[in-house]
Chains A and B, each alone.
Chain A
Amino acid sequence: MEQQYVEFKGIGKRFIGVRALHDVSFRANGGEVTALLGENGAGKSTLLKILSGAYTADEGVYEINGAEKHFATTQEAIADGVSIIYQERQLVKELTVAENIFMNMLPSNRLGVIDYAAANAEAQRIIDIFRLPIRSTDRVKELSVAHQQMVEIMKAVRRESNIIAFDEPTASLSETEINTLFSVIGHLRDEGKVILYVSHRLKELFQITDKIVVMKDGALVDTLKTSDASEKELIRLMVGRDIGDIFHHLDRAASFGGPVLEVRNISNDNISDISFTLHKGEVLGISGLVGAGRSEIVRAIFGADKLQRGEILIDGKPVKIGSPADAIRAGIGLCPEDRKDEGLVLENPIRTNISIATLGLVSKMGVIDTKMERDMSLKAIAAYNIKTHSAEKQVIELSGGNQQKVILGRWIGADLKVLILDEPTKGIDVGAKSEIYNMIIGLAKSGLGVIFISSELPEVLNICDNIIVVKEGRVSGTLAREDASEEKVLTLAM
């Protein structure tokens, strides 16, 4: 088989108020994994969307195996062997895994009757390649976020595409799943496919990629061989400055205050008998495999899921939390994990997504003060460095990482006692990550209790004062910062 390749030549793309891409040229070869690296809003997803036919380029062309292509729709691109696994999942949650993997290509007999047995068997075969504990007949909505992500990947595998692009596929996966994913990507690469890979986790680039294309503000900065690159150099190229060791400069509180949140034996369908105490000034990590019940614990505390048993105390007094509204009134704030489904009202401006949880702060007698609301959103845009030309930009038009920053911005100005962050750095670039770490430590220092959930173990180990490890909905161990190590956490989690 001849070598496959994709070549971008002088690609440019503008949106209202931004130049998303400018004169981007490079070549990605089959049999190699080519990484796209750059800050949030650098234009990585936009480039992939152009390749997939979702957007058309304003300038420049791209060629596949020497032939110029102009995909007008994603269907055309798919027919030509291009599959993109997007940052945001594109699944029909009510349908089964097999139906999603096949979509409109379900096998049928001559009368057009769908052959579900064949579809389920074939889907199961693909699932088994990935060695996943799911069945082809499961409904997607019942799967964990990570498994939903894997279904997305299996769709591309099923189509036997020659060009597969991954846009932050590991953002919601845990270590073991990432390893499975990498073995699948390695397998696809060895078959000679062109693989494009976007991730903010530098460590991964060294594990899986052969070549790294660095972008900044829509332009290509450099193309390097992974074997010649160093983490430090990559950061300098993408951020434009040296950010040093992001974990060592953290200026954490010397000691804790009294207990601010006490959780006593809370249980529901997903979790059992969870107890812990969070102090003022403490950053408490919750670690565990994806699906172990990390999000479920904080959802229960926040009133998003019903509690069946147990007690929650704030400042030593029992509080009854029946809904998120009650939790907020008690001084608890949550930044949810899933930005598309639970975090944001996508077809609304940044402004209303920032003020959504604290409307009381920007209104008088129930009437919203437009100026106060705008000022609040501008403050969040500046504090979190959200890349936008206006607070009125629709959130759906922001890059993934910048959407994530909007979720974090919603508690700006709120008077909280406890802040719960569920995967706050998902999809966030290295530079912005260190700013978020500083913000977390700063909030803790000012007397808040912070609960921090992340799939990235180094993050948890370095940010948190104490770590609770959960397994199958129960606490399997608690580690203090000094004693914690990757091995210890993983042993407790497995």
Chain B
Amino acid sequence: MSLLELKNISKIYGELKALDNVNIHVDQGEWVAIMGPSGSGKSTMMNIIGCMDKPTLGEVLLDGVDIAKESSKKLTDIRRDKIGLIFQQFHMVNYLTAVENVMVSQYYHSMPDEKEALDALGRVGLRERAHHLPSQLSGGEQQRVCVARALINHPELILADEPTGNLDEANENIVLDLFAQLHAEGTTLIVVTHDPEVADAAQRTIVLEHGKVAREVINENFEAQQKEWLARLKG
């Protein structure tokens, strides 16, 4: 079943076409990677899918609703209810502790629940660091808090823009493990990355160039990878 459909999307800044007639289709539960050189329009596309920006032309159907036509207030509601965001810069509110940062997301969504927030931190392996301020956490740990924050409200779609861009190998693997787990639970994932290893973890990779879809690569090994991953998790 289709969750997201971009139909003839263009985003034009003056002379520059950041996105140029893009068509993309993402199914419910799919794990898609987006690659492309710098300036090819990846973040622009993520902003549009994440309801933070509108395309100049075209339709964006999220759960059958054309978000290109909604008011910004309605977009805020959709973003809050359906989408979890993870950023390269692992943005945290710097005067709130890890668990409070997770609770901020709950606060805007529905009700803050400290126990649930602590469980989410436990899931990313940071139960012990819950009451530390961002300045007391490493980059990798901050990014894991952001993952916990993105999944706390059980979004249908997780959008991650370069989630591993600033992480070392070990932390990158932790994040990829979490993605695999979320995928196994049925969450749809769209991950922008420059890192071929991160792209290879996904089911499908869409490559953007100059604002256009240059090609799509299906990961034939995906089923095998998942099995291997599950086995590793159990063993």
Do chains A and B interact in one complex? no
**B interface residues, Cβ below 8 angstroms from A:** none
